[in-house]
Structure 1
Amino acid sequence: MSGLVVVGADGSASSLAAVGTAAREAALRGAGLRVVHAFLWPAMHVPLGPSGLGPPEGGLRHAAQRVVAEAVERARSAAPEVDVTHAVMTGEPLTVLEAQSRAAELVVVGSRGMGGFVGLMLGSTAVHLAAHGQCPVMVVREQPAAGGPVLLGVDGSPAGADAVDFAFAEAALRGAGLLALHAWTPWHTPVPPPQDPAMPYASEPGELARTEERLVAEAIAGRRETHPGVEVRTKAVRGGTRETLIEASRTAQLLVVGARGRGGFTGLVLGSVSQALLHHAHCPVAVVRGSAAAR
């Protein structure tokens, strides 16, 4: 076993889907899988055992154990060859998963939750986890397109280089193609000053588009050689980042983005772009922090 994938389980249908995805990710990597349930009640000094008037299998502790047992069963069904361990940990879900991310190569969560994970994708928890987790975070949304490519959102920033590496590695593991997609608008594209200071700032017709196409090519430079088996397509589209990536995700099996970037990706995971992708993408979304791969 060469690594560890961690998945959050809360008993919801969304988290069970995430468990299945996490098990398959672990199988692709030859890694182990750890199913984690964040159990907040002990910290609040709430009675955990069964009520004196209820069945012996009742109570919060038994409920937590059932959640984990169901998740483990789902994981072993999805990937029987994977070594699955589990843990019920006292604490708030974000704190628990962030701590788990320090020893993991990937953390997987569902797009909706219940119990300790209430509001996972409706509030700040997932955004905070993606921004501060110590490894890439994958949020499982709709079932991905079978046979679709890995979709890489390219922003051209140095911090986005780890997302490029992650996307190529995922495509290689899955035996999938990779589509490196960059969305741009004139408002987000720097215009170089004219050679003659007396002339107004301007670009030759088509120069902005050519500049953005070069940006995509430069962003993936060298990765074709390190992953020769991955079929790569590049595309620079004039349009909004959110709309372009969400639409392209319809035919993708995974969308990979960096945690921050320039232009349309400014403030990703802290602002509207990440919120839109995590809420509306049509496939799982992996957010990769620049520091994650450098650990």
Structure 2
Amino acid sequence: MSGSSTIVVGIDGSEASDLATVWAALTAAGRDFTLRIVTAVDTPAHLDDAQTAEFAAMARSRLVAAETLARTTVDGSSLRIETELREGKVIDVLLTASTSSAMVVLGAVGLGESDSGIIGSAAVGLSTHASSPVVVVRGRSIDGRPPVSGPVVVGVDGSAVNQSAIAIAFDEASHRGATLVAVHVWSDVSLAQISAVPFGWDDIAASEEAVLAESLAGWQEKYPDVEVRRVVAQDRPVRVLTGLSEQASLIVVGSRGRGGFSGMMLGSTSYALINTADCPVLVVRGG
């Protein structure tokens, strides 16, 4: 996590951004961070002055509603909230915000849009290019709130850049008092494709367990309060992580990772998870 103590949430008035606001408010309150609620206004050029003013007024009303939701979510908390209306495209506004934030939070889809809508598109762009970690709040909810109980799951591929994701996963698990499930999937091809290959599977499995152990080395000592459960699986990363998301409170992955036979292709995996996971997904740029 960066040295910033501000969590930014991008909102557009949709149900998805409401869920993101709730998640961001709970997370900021739990860390005594400032919550900055940001909405972007990309005013169409053809509007006259009166229409432009109405456009801006609608954006300001979204900010008021989001701030009210955040304060209601953490009732009794001294949560510090800032609101900001920025002119420009949402992806550009949030990329700029990511340079001075601990994380950027947004919903999986946008107002009146399908999975390719404003926030949906921003989720993909931010996960790839943001300076800070990006949280896409999606999946199941209970009474309008994202899951707050359950383990934190982190995808581990053994690469150097993946260490950033592991560090944040331990930090998140520590703050939440949650178990950390560290997952290393060592085959990125289907079992049908490799079943006829005469490898020594026991030796390979032992080697991949060692990759996971080496990747976690030192972190358990730094976070002695975090219980760690290790999972080594011969399967597809997306299938394993999606299955675990059904009980998790958060999944942490890198925006890219080591490809190849023994690696988790976290570029494709993170992209799939922000569209399919049943809990919020935290994507970390490494390297």
Q: Specify if TM > 0.5.
A: yes
Distance 2:215 2:118 in 1: 32
Contact 1:14 1:110 in 2 (8 A): yes
Correspondence list, 1:1-295, <5 A: 3-41=5-43, 44=45, 46-47=47-48, 49=50, 59-79=54-74, 80-114=77-111, 119-120=117-118, 122-123=120-121, 125-142=122-139, 143=141, 144-185=146-187, 203-263=199-259, 264-266=263-265, 268=267, 271=268, 273-291=269-287
Distance 1:171 1:41 in 2: 41
SS at match of 1:278: helix
Contact 2:29 2:79 in 1 (8 A): yes
- Evaluate the alpha carbon distance shift between residue 170 and residue 67 of structure 1 in structure 2; reply closer, same or farther with a 3 A threshold: same
Aligned partner letter, 1:178: L
Q: CA deviation at 1:202?
A: 6.5
Q: How many residues align?
A: 268
Q: C-alpha offsets along residues 217-264 of structure 1, whole Å, 9 cap, x if unaligned? A: 111110011101001111101101111110111110000001111135
SS at match of 1:113: coil
Contact 1:93 1:116 in 2 (8 A): no
Distance 1:36 1:59 in 2: 18
- Evaluate the alpha carbon distance shift between residue 231 and residue 48 of structure 1 in structure 2; reply closer, same or farther with a 3 A threshold: farther
Q: CA deviation at 1:46?
A: 2.5
Greater radius of gyration (CA): 1
Of 212-221 and 164-173, deviating more is: 212-221
Aligned partner letter, 1:72: E
- Evaluate the alpha carbon distance shift between residue 71 and residue 121 of structure 1 in structure 2; reply closer, same or farther with a 3 A threshold: closer
Aligned partner letter, 1:114: L
Distance 1:37 1:122 in 2: 15
Q: C-alpha offsets along residues 61-96 of structure 1, whole Å, 9 cap, x if unaligned? A: 211111110001111111232100101100000000
SS at match of 2:178: coil
Corresponding residue for residue 194 of structure 2: none
Of 17-26 and 259-268, deviating more is: 259-268
Aligned partner letter, 2:82: T
- Unmatched runs of 5 consecutive residues or more in structure 1: 52-57, 189-200
SS at match of 2:132: coil
Contact 1:186 1:208 in 2 (8 A): no
SS at match of 1:34: strand
Q: C-alpha offsets along residues 83-123 of structure 1, whole Å, 9 cap, x if unaligned? A: 00101100000000000000000100001112799714654
SS at match of 1:59: helix
Aligned partner letter, 2:170: F
SS at match of 1:206: helix
- Evaluate the alpha carbon distance shift between residue 288 and residue 30 of structure 1 in structure 2; reply closer, same or farther with a 3 A threshold: same
Contact 2:128 2:285 in 1 (8 A): yes
- Unmatched runs of 5 consecutive residues or more in structure 2: 191-196
Distance 1:283 1:48 in 2: 42
Q: What is the percentage of aligned positions where both structures have the same residue? A: 37
Q: CA deviation at 1:163?
A: 0.2
